[in-house]
Amino acid sequence: MAEKIYIFDTTLRDGEQAPGYSMNLEEKIRMARQLESLGVDIIEAGFAISSPGDFESVEAIAKAVEKPVVASLARALKKDIDAAWNAVKCARHPRIHLFLATSDIHLEYKLKISREEALSRIRENVRYAKSLCDDIEFSLEDATRTDLDYMCAVVQAAIEEGATTVNLPDTVGYSTPAEISNMVSYVRKNVPCIDKARISMHCHNDLGLAVANSLAGVEAGARQVECTVCGIGERAGNAALEELVMAMKTRHDRFDYETGIVTEEITRTARLLSKTTGVKINPSKAIVGDNAFAHESGIHQHGMMANSKTYEIMTPESVGVVKTNLVLGKHSGQHAFTKKMEELGYTLTKEQADNLFKEFKKTCDRKKNITERDLIALVEAQENPEMQTWTLDSFVVNSGNRMTSTACISLTKNGEKTYQEVASGTGPVYASLRCVEKIIKHPFSLEEYQLQAVTEHRDALGEVLVKISDESGVYRGRGVSTDVIEASILACLNAVNKMISSSGPLSSAENSAQKMSFENDMLVGHTDKRSE
Ligand code: KIV
Ligand code: ZN
């Protein structure tokens, strides 16, 4: 029987650490639930000690999911381990993941400790973590630049103290597949108790080799791979989950392994990440890019028509790609609509279904053919009703090349009172956003604005993504409409509602200040004082 490769997802830790990918509590929980549906074995939910926000989200994820192991990262320090344990202990399957750098360059310049000191710190802290939790992962940060014999001594010590997984990260994305293969084989050969733990790979993508290196590790005997959705992560990112999994599935002839991943959930997971973070997926991205299954050239199309295997090594359906086809129209009833949404994987509450159906009917009046992609865009732009402080009542915009744009907008507050304002600007979006700002009486800056058509053709829905900020943080919003100005106003209101509700900062000033002081803490290294 094919051996199992455990999928350790670190989208919510290593991934979320990357600039532009931060998520708030609610978003992290939604993502964690989707990762559970995707079938990952381990969710690294965060770095509990790094900020109160991180602690809270690790704990909330630990409560929110059932099947996967939930891990929190911790430095090899008692206070980190305590925080990690306190955050994950309510999980059905908790794990503490502790790490210490082992390469000479990190020991000498960052930690300022000798190999012997590091080894005893590893023993002491793995032992302490094991006294709290059965499932312990120990990572040798910068393993790929660590002396191999020293690495074996560390791995041996960590396992003797109770580590059940030992991770050998390519922290700086420097290694090649042959080197990784050699490293894993060396550890397997020279660590007497290696069979008591699972070897894990955690490869960064600085040279574009993260997936190849992880697979080389697997071929040499690693049985856990650490990865992120779409490969997001520090600098050039981590190994992409979807690439690793589909490589093993598509090339089963070469990789005789199984994973627990429900590959049909891959596209939905990548879309959720993109929707949540507002970062578009590169169209050429393997497996989940828009072009990953597109066949434009005549020769390819001809081949595909004769036999799809000529140019397709895996089917779009196998990764859950939804085809663009006509699904519903003006005359479709709410029953057919709700059924279609269920087929697309969206289970809606009565209130959500009612609101969405109204949106759908409004869209039918403006757009003849409603495709599955349109429906997905509409459902993904839906706001949590409790967060809808401000809703759009009406708007009129005047714009032209020989005039100043003006906007007149009416917004309703809490479904009760309606407020109206007029504003001008250098363009219709500018004027509209100024109007919103005047009505809500809360200044904000526009950090980012993206507009794209959901499908082809002139009557396509326009989807707008915005990021706005005030002194408390940055907030994302999404809006969808056949009218791009309306989509812009809706996206702005979506972000505004998050801004004024208490739950939504992406990176509150308080949180960033705490992260900053934490980073300083990291810079001075692990002094004796810190390990007290
Ligand atoms: O890249 C790395 O070394 C890490 C460890 C903390 C596992 O992220
Ligand atoms: Zn990493």
Write out the DSSP string of 184-246.
Answer: HHHHHHH-TTGGGSEEEEEEB-TTS-HHHHHHHHHHHT--EEEEBGGG--STT-B-BHHHHHH
Inter-residue contact 295 to 301 (CB < 8 Å): yes
Give me the pLDDT at residue 480, please: 92
* Separation of alpha carbons 178 and 182, rounded Å: 6
Give me the pLDDT at residue 525, please: 33
C-alpha 135 to ligand 2 mean position (Å): 20
* Separation of alpha carbons 492 and 446, rounded Å: 9
C-alpha 40 to ligand 1 mean position (Å): 19
As a whole number, mean pLDDT of residues 132-142 equals 98
Give me the pLDDT at residue 324, please: 53
C-alpha 285 to ligand 1 mean position (Å): 24
Query: Dihedral sign, CA of 506, 508, 511, 517?
Result: positive
Please indicate whether residue 205, judged by its CB atom, sits closer than 6 Å to ligand 1: no
DSSP for 434-479, written as a single string: HHHHHHHT---EEEEEEEEESSSSTTPPEEEEEEEEETTEEEEEEE
Inter-residue contact 409 to 420 (CB < 8 Å): yes
Element (H, E) at 168: strand 165-170
Q: What is the pLDDT of residues 9-34, one digit of tens each?
A: 999 999 998 888 989 898 999 999 99
Please indicate whether residue 171, judged by its CB atom, sits closer than 6 Å to ligand 1: yes
Q: Of all protein residues, whose CA lies closest to atom 5 belonging to ligand 1? A: 141
Tokens 């109206």 belong to: 420
* Separation of alpha carbons 358 and 360, rounded Å: 5
C-alpha 499 to ligand 1 mean position (Å): 33
As a whole number, mean pLDDT of residues 344-352 equals 81
Q: Of all protein residues, whose CA lies closest to atom 1 belonging to ligand 1? A: 171
Query: In this structure, what token pair is assigned to residue 282?
Result: 């590169």
Calculate Rg over the CA atoms of the chain: 25
Q: What is the pLDDT of residues 454-481, one digit of tens each?
A: 887 888 999 999 999 998 888 889 899 9
Using the predicted structure, report yes or no on whether residue 297 has a pLDDT greater than 80. Answer: no
C-alpha 314 to ligand 2 mean position (Å): 29
Q: How many CB atoms lie within 10 A of CB 65?
A: 22
Which residues face 70 on adjacent strands?
A: 43, 94
Q: Report the first-to-last Cα separation within the chain, whole angstroms.
A: 48
pLDDT band at 295 (very low <50, low <70, confident <90, very high): low
Tokens 């009833």 belong to: 333
Q: At what angle do helices 428-440 and 484-500 cross, to 10 degrees?
A: 30
Q: Of all protein residues, whose CA lies closest to atom 2 belonging to ligand 1? A: 171
Using the predicted structure, report yes or no on whether residue 48 has a pLDDT greater than 90. Answer: yes
Please indicate whether residue 47, judged by its CB atom, sits closer than 6 Å to ligand 1: no
Please indicate whether residue 228, judged by its CB atom, sits closer than 6 Å to ligand 1: no
How far is CA 122 from its chain centroid? 30
Please indicate whether residue 233, judged by its CB atom, sits closer than 6 Å to ligand 1: no
Inter-residue contact 71 to 78 (CB < 8 Å): no
Please indicate whether residue 139, judged by its CB atom, sits closer than 6 Å to ligand 1: yes
How far CA 276 is from CA of 21, 49, 186, 321, in Å, comes to 9, 24, 41, 19
pLDDT band at 250 (very low <50, low <70, confident <90, very high): very high
Inter-residue contact 463 to 478 (CB < 8 Å): yes
Tokens 């509700």 belong to: 501
- In total, the chain counts a number of residues equal to 532
* Separation of alpha carbons 167 and 139, rounded Å: 4
Nearest atom within ligand 1 for CA of residue 10:
8
Please indicate whether residue 169, judged by its CB atom, sits closer than 6 Å to ligand 1: yes
Taking alpha carbons only, the member of 74, 73, 65 closest to residue 93 is 65
Please indicate whether residue 202, judged by its CB atom, sits closer than 6 Å to ligand 1: yes
Query: In this structure, what token pair is assigned to residue 116?
Result: 């012997």
How far CA 340 is from CA of 270, 326, 348, 372, 454, in Å, comes to 21, 12, 11, 9, 18
* Mutation test residue for ligand 1: of 9, 12, 14, the one with most atoms within 8 Å of CB: 14
* Separation of alpha carbons 42 and 47, rounded Å: 15
Using the predicted structure, report yes or no on whether residue 529 has a pLDDT greater than 50. Answer: no
pLDDT band at 531 (very low <50, low <70, confident <90, very high): very low
* Separation of alpha carbons 102 and 411, rounded Å: 58
C-alpha 365 to ligand 1 mean position (Å): 52
Give me the pLDDT at residue 227, please: 98
Q: Of all protein residues, whose CA lies closest to atom 8 belonging to ligand 1? A: 14
Q: What is the pLDDT of residues 375-397, one digit of tens each?
A: 888 888 877 777 789 999 999 99
Nearest atom within ligand 1 for CA of residue 238:
1
C-alpha 297 to ligand 2 mean position (Å): 39
Taking alpha carbons only, the member of 71, 110, 76, 111 closest to residue 94 is 71
Inter-residue contact 55 to 23 (CB < 8 Å): no
The amino acid occupying position 387 is M
C-alpha 211 to ligand 2 mean position (Å): 13
C-alpha 236 to ligand 1 mean position (Å): 14
As a whole number, mean pLDDT of residues 52-77 equals 98
As a whole number, mean pLDDT of residues 206-215 equals 98
Which residues face 464 on adjacent strands?
A: 451, 479
Give me the pLDDT at residue 523, please: 34
Please indicate whether residue 72, judged by its CB atom, sits closer than 6 Å to ligand 1: no
Using the predicted structure, report yes or no on whether residue 355 has a pLDDT greater than 50. Answer: yes
Q: How many CB atoms lie within 10 A of CB 189?
A: 11
Taking alpha carbons only, the member of 496, 512, 493 closest to residue 504 is 496
Q: What is the pTM of this model?
A: 0.82
Taking alpha carbons only, the member of 127, 164, 158, 124 closest to residue 141 is 158
